[in-house]
Structure 1
Amino acid sequence: MSGSGAEPADRDDGEHRSLRPRLVPPAPRGAVLLLHGGRPDALTPPPPLNLPSARMRPFGSAILRSVGKERVLLATVRYRYRGWNGSRTDPVHDANEALDELTSLAPLGPVVLVGHSMGARAALRVAAHPRVSGVVALAPWCPPGEPVAHLRDTHVIVLHDERDRVTSARGAWDFVRRAHRAGARSCGVSMPRGGHAMLRDAGDWHRLTAFLAAGVLGERALPPGLTAAQARGAVVEGSALLRDVPRGGR
């Protein structure tokens, strides 16, 4: 681990570490924790070549460009198993452990969770952790009845393409509304394209996610259209927000 931007190799000592740091500056002002997708049920570990994890890498790079490498710690949650696994909620335990491990590397400042699909569900579950200021949830898996009471006063920003055939945008918007009624600063962002893997117009997903993560960290102001939507628990068009987001990092 260092401030050089190099990603450390995984430990191979047989002991699981839920936190995988990607960049650790000397005095970070905050931290971003990435949580990739997975499967509803799978008790096998993620493979060495893990495409859901790889998909989150450009989001991390965009966040570093937006905030500045000297200002934010960037890390990934490593899962023991690929699946959510029903009442076991395995990635939730991994995410909580990663947050606890994070304290020794970045003891001060807010933490923003950026999760995709199953990882977004896990991020929303652990958002009551005292270090967490908010969640940027990408195409989240939000089944009916997903808990929201713990999200009071937390930023909850959900990005979804309504044509996603893997996870339901309608379920995500319902989650946003219920979280708002529970006191969260929640809103939805309807992305014009991308599907579940967020591949079409991927640059727009990366750029907007980075801008919003920086806003939740307090490194820049959130777009007025988004804060207005948060005040109502509403859904705003992503194309409108993107007009306020600069290109090319900071």
Structure 2
Amino acid sequence: MAQQATPVRTARLGRTLGQEPTAVSGAVLLLPGGQEVSGRRPSSLLANASVRALGRRLARAGRGEGLAAHVVHYRYRGWNGGDAHLARDATWAVEEVLRRYGDVPVCLAGLDMGGRAALRAGGHEAVNSVVAIAPWLPEDDVAASPEPVKQLAGRQVLIVHGTNDARTDPELSFRFAERAKKANREVCRFEVHADGHGLRQYRDEVTALAADFMMGTLFGRAFARPVRDALAAPPPLGLRMPLAAGFGASLSW
């Protein structure tokens, strides 16, 4: 008997979050977390719950501007060392957006390991902005090459991290932001004091911050004052900007 070929795994985009726009003028790709090493398929429903909630908020904010919001479904659950599967799938997703919608600007928004994927894939020419929330980033040391930052030149970058995060080290995201700021002035980082990895205490504020940043980068809306201040402030001030309780309560979208 002839052996059946093993099917090739492919990444895919989830259905459009929110109301599908008649004309797309910008796109946001939501990148879920993952595991350091795993060849298994992602568990889509459980793994995507938090990123889908963020995506729905972003889709609602950009509804009137022609925003298309999609969750990226990875081929594998793991980053898997030098294969960097999640980042490769994020890059594929940007190409898929261009194929579907034409030459539109793209924002990559990732949580946990998806944050690292967003930062790594941010060098694609169609990406104009990156949002990394509680990103999983490796520790820079002498034995390992530091996480690259040069690909972020020309992009606007927002990093958000809880100071009590016991799963992904907030100090590592600060050190990454410090290096990225040297290559690109358009980098800011917000700290959510006393919140943990899931940022549950300040979830509304974090999603409002991400939406404000996305609306400014994709559609030219004026940033809220704290975002303007964080982008303009020199390190370390603009990289340790506290996220105030109630942020976003007065935003119109």
TM-score w.r.t. the length of structure 2 is: 0.85
Give the match for residue 43 of structure 1: 39
Give the match for residue 90 of structure 1: 85
- Cα distance in 1 for partners of 2:96, 2:252 equals 29
- Cα distance in 2 for partners of 1:134, 1:38 equals 21
Contact 1:34 1:60 in 2 (8 A): yes
Q: How many residues align?
A: 235
The alpha-carbon deviation at position 29 of structure 1 amounts to: 1.3
Contact 1:156 1:176 in 2 (8 A): no
State which structure, 1 or 2, has the greater radius of gyration over its C-alpha atoms. 2
Of the structure 1 ranges 193-202 and 70-79, higher mean CA displacement relative to structure 2 is found in 193-202
Cα shift readout 1:126-150 (whole Å, capped 9, x = no counterpart): 1010110110110011222211011
Structure 2 unaligned segments of length 5 or more: list them.
1-6, 141-145
Contact 2:61 2:211 in 1 (8 A): yes
- Cα distance in 1 for partners of 2:61, 2:173 equals 26
CA 1:113–1:101: 2 relative to 1, 3 Å: same
Alignment of 1:65 with 2:66, yes or no, is no
- Cα distance in 2 for partners of 1:160, 1:249 equals 25
- Aligned to 1:216, the other structure's residue is in SS state helix
Cα shift readout 1:177-226 (whole Å, capped 9, x = no counterpart): 11010124101101135411222232222222222221221242112332
Contact 1:158 1:189 in 2 (8 A): yes
Identity of aligned residues (%): 33
CA 1:19–1:118: 2 relative to 1, 3 Å: same
Give the match for residue 158 of structure 2: 157
- Cα distance in 1 for partners of 2:92, 2:185 equals 24
- Aligned to 2:70, the other structure's residue is in SS state strand
Contact 2:98 2:104 in 1 (8 A): no
Contact 2:9 2:75 in 1 (8 A): no
Structure 1 unaligned segments of length 5 or more: list them.
1-12
Kindly provide the amino acid, as one letter, of the partner of residue 77 in structure 1.
V
- Aligned to 1:239, the other structure's residue is in SS state coil
- Cα distance in 2 for partners of 1:52, 1:212 equals 24
Give the match for residue 137 of structure 1: 132
Tell me the C-alpha RMSD between the 2 structures.
2.1
- Cα distance in 2 for partners of 1:179, 1:203 equals 27
- Cα distance in 2 for partners of 1:223, 1:48 equals 33
- Cα distance in 2 for partners of 1:93, 1:60 equals 21
Contact 2:135 2:173 in 1 (8 A): yes
- Aligned to 1:228, the other structure's residue is in SS state helix
CA 1:247–1:229: 2 relative to 1, 3 Å: closer
Alignment of 1:33 with 2:29, yes or no, is yes
Contact 2:149 2:180 in 1 (8 A): yes
Of the structure 1 ranges 193-202 and 106-115, higher mean CA displacement relative to structure 2 is found in 193-202
